[in-house]
Structure 1
Amino acid sequence: MTKQYKSNPDDRSDNVEKLQEMVQNTIHNMHEAEEAAEFSNEKDRAAIQAKNQRRLDSIAAMRDEIKDEYAHREGRE
């Protein structure tokens, strides 16, 4: 007897909001890391700066995805 799996429909209705929340959380994490860097040694500070640069890259990608999702929502894709 094999199980039949039913796939869930693609629900993109709240993707814009989820992505916006992810951007805000990432920005918050960057600020927290910058505050921690003030009390860190040189090696840890460099690691924090590198991670924050990756966060900036992620934010840019998420903002592009927000634009795409918004266009899809508005039917302009």
Structure 2
Amino acid sequence: MAKKDDRSNNVERLEAMVENTEENIEEASSTLNNRHLSEQEKNNIRHKNERREQSIEAFKNEIADEKGDREHGRI
């Protein structure tokens, strides 16, 4: 039998994911100051941070959806 979809903590889980991703961006950005990194490594970090920013936007959109579902009693 399939497990029931429990969305009761989705907002909190997504908010934690946003926070963790923002921390990863910060850490990666400070790594860019390492003078021993090659330009390729720095570019890889920059591109990864761009993808992280996109993920944060997606998380925030999902948070808004989940909050809306809560407000309308769908969760």
TM superposition score normalised by structure 1: 0.87
Matches within 5 A, 1:52-71: 52-71=49-68
Deviation at 1:24, TM superposition (A): 0.3
Consecutive unaligned residues of structure 2, counting only runs of 5 or more, are none
State the 4+ residue runs in structure 1 displaced beyond 3 angstroms.
none
When the two structures are aligned, how many residues end up with a matched partner?
72
Q: Deviations over 1:39-73 (max 9, x none)?
A: 12211111000000000001001000000001111
TM superposition score normalised by structure 2: 0.89
Consecutive unaligned residues of structure 1, counting only runs of 5 or more, are 1-5
